[in-house]
Amino acid sequence: MNNNELLSTTLKDIYAHLADEESRDIFIPRFEHIFHAGEHEEALISMMHKAILWDVNRTPYKRWNIGDSITIGEYLKHKNAFDSICIWGAGRCGKLTLRILNQFGLSVECFLDNDKAKVGTRYLDKPVYSSEKIFSDYHNAYIFIGMFYPYAWQVIQQLRDSRFPSERIILMYSVEEQYFGTGLIEPREDEVYYDVGVFDGATIDAFIRFSNNRYKQIIGIEADKKNYDYLLDKYKNKDILRLINKGAWNESGTFKFNSCLDSAISKIDDIGETLLETTTIDKITEELQLTPTFIKMDIEGAELKALEGAEKTIKHCHPRLAISVYHKAEDIADILHYILRLVPEYKFYLRQHTYHFAETVLYCMV
């Protein structure tokens, strides 16, 4: 079998295991992006457009905890042709936001930005204004947040502190809560939850709510020492939560680690200035004598390596999986293919949780 035949067979196998049309609408453009990453983003724009349409038509299973702000899907249900629209963020995310809004025939009047160097310039042929302009000329506008987390939340807080109406703040997020609000996975009484890439603990908190505080054990695996120290203090009174300050990988070892200022994107990297000890999920499972029922994984491109280190656990336990598949263009094929080889009985669901191209999650269950 030549490489083209092998690729065709692999794709057919993956496609056959995609359990619904929404998953197929996400998979195909994501796969096309493998061959065009860095050149153009038409495939991903197409994916976002389709994913938002699914969002517009769905009945939310569990809404994001976003206060009174609304998502683009919610806005599109009630939009008015005469709405005034601004995008906060004259950068890459703002550009993507503009392109996606144009897909829906929405016109944007201006960009807003806190960067004084950008204020007074033009970006994508739109004027860039300071935040003060909102209250003088755009107090009735809808503000779409064209920024990544955590900067998006800083802007939202800035708007709220200025008493800008929350219902006019639009997030480029899905209405469904990531990992626990899709309706695809239901809580069990005996949950053993592995959170691989804990960051600030938000996903552990979400899991505790999801499980109605009924679970057997939580294992948090967090590579970044700053995050780990914060988590130790945050969860010091949680007896059935164990934190491990190691990187999840396909072997135990020591690697260079880049601990970024924004520690949400810290990762194993040859340019890293610190050293990180790694372990495998199989080793953790064996040492703790646990049978995981649910594994969530978001570790900045190390997902495939960590899954290789979980081979025995996945084969023998068949845990439900929620795996990030967007950090590398090829993850959408490589990760699905690898998991399929381990457990051919898995059904695959793909969901898009933000509309800045990030947070594409693969859900696997038998």
pLDDT per position as a tens digit, 144-188:
999 987 788 899 999 999 899 999 999 999 999 999 999 999 999
82 has pLDDT over 60: yes
| Closest by Cα among 11, 4, 33, 3 to 329 | 33
Residue 238's pLDDT is 83
Which one has a higher pLDDT value, 150 or 360? 360
Is the distance from CB of 101 to CB of 76 less than 8 angstroms? no
Mean pLDDT of the chain: 91
Whether cis (ω within 30° of 0) applies to the bond prior to 150 is yes
Q: CB within 8 A of 173, min separation 6: which ones?
A: 64, 66, 71, 72, 353, 354, 355
Residue 257 host element (H or E): strand 253-258
Locus of tokens 């004259």: 90
Residue 60's pLDDT is 74
Amino acid at 201: G
Name the β-bridge partners of 297.
Answer: 196, 323
Sign of torsion over alpha carbons 204, 209, 211, 217: positive
The pTM of the full predicted model, rounded to 2 decimals, is 0.92
Q: Cα(175)–Cα(29) distance, rounded to whole angstroms? A: 21
Task: Quote the tokens at residue 150.
Answer: 């955590």
Is the distance from CB of 196 to CB of 299 less than 8 angstroms? yes
263 has pLDDT over 50: no
φ, ψ for residue 26 (rounded to 5)?
Answer: -85, -40
pLDDT in tens, 122-147: 999 999 999 888 888 888 999 999 99
Percent of the chain topping pLDDT 70: 92
Mean pLDDT of 79-89: 94
Task: Quote the tokens at residue 273.
Answer: 């200035």
